[in-house]
Structure 1
Amino acid sequence: MEFSDFSARLNRWLDDCSVAPLDCWVDDANVQLAWVEGGIRCSIDVLDPFDASAPDRLMSILGQGGASVACRCPGALGTDPQSQCLVLVHWMASSSSVEALLEVLQTLANQRAAMLSLMHKTLFDSPSAESRLATNWHTGV
């Protein structure tokens, strides 16, 4: 779903006061909003369960945590208990406007993109990545 379509869907979800979470694919990431403890939990998937279980990918993302703090990004890393995905999560007051929610989701999406870009650069563009690929190769597999 395009971000503009998601904006309309978010308005309907807020107007309906639905107890069910809003779970949508926006651009290339899964976004979820849910009513939690008097507010709205906003989350965006960073790594799916398969990638989150790969130690090199997980450690690369966790190693970018300092960059998130340095740029004052609002998202905290966590694990979604249902999907087992590594997510960026942020809590908003229930009185938050649609514009404020969209702004936080856009910031989380930008934070996610930066983290994935840095992870890719760390894993695949570094000189040590080439040697790791060569040493992990098994003949006949």
Structure 2
Amino acid sequence: MRRLCGCGQKMDLGFRLVIFENKFQIDRVPILECEDCEYYEVLPAIKCDLTNLLAQLKDEGKGGRVLFTDVNEFADVLYSSYLTWKRTGDNQSFEELLEQGCDERINMLLDLYSCAKKASDSKWMNEISSRLAPLSKYVKERQCLETK
């Protein structure tokens, strides 16, 4: 989750409010930030999802405030893990908490998917699939990094 900034310092995870076209506010957007030079960037794992949300909001034409954690499962797990890690201290590494949170959320969503399938509710199944996608993407990328 951490990486080095262009200035050579460590970038840490944070969450920001993104204001787009002075009309849309998206809160709890995961970012990487450098305390030394104050540079920050949207977390690469969610950048595409954020861009898609901004396009969707623009198409709908209505302004307002959205919690990114309400529309992106990975951001929600990331935020929950971050709050737990900050609250409990360094008893467990953030990465371990995040991995555990992702695994638990994926299992819960798969259980829901099974219920939706039994109910033959294709709309619900599609919704759950779209919620699983960002988590699956993160897990897949994490596994690729571990095998290198």
TM-score range, shorter chain: 0.3 to 0.5
Point out which structure has higher relative CO (alpha carbons under 8 A, 6+ apart).
1
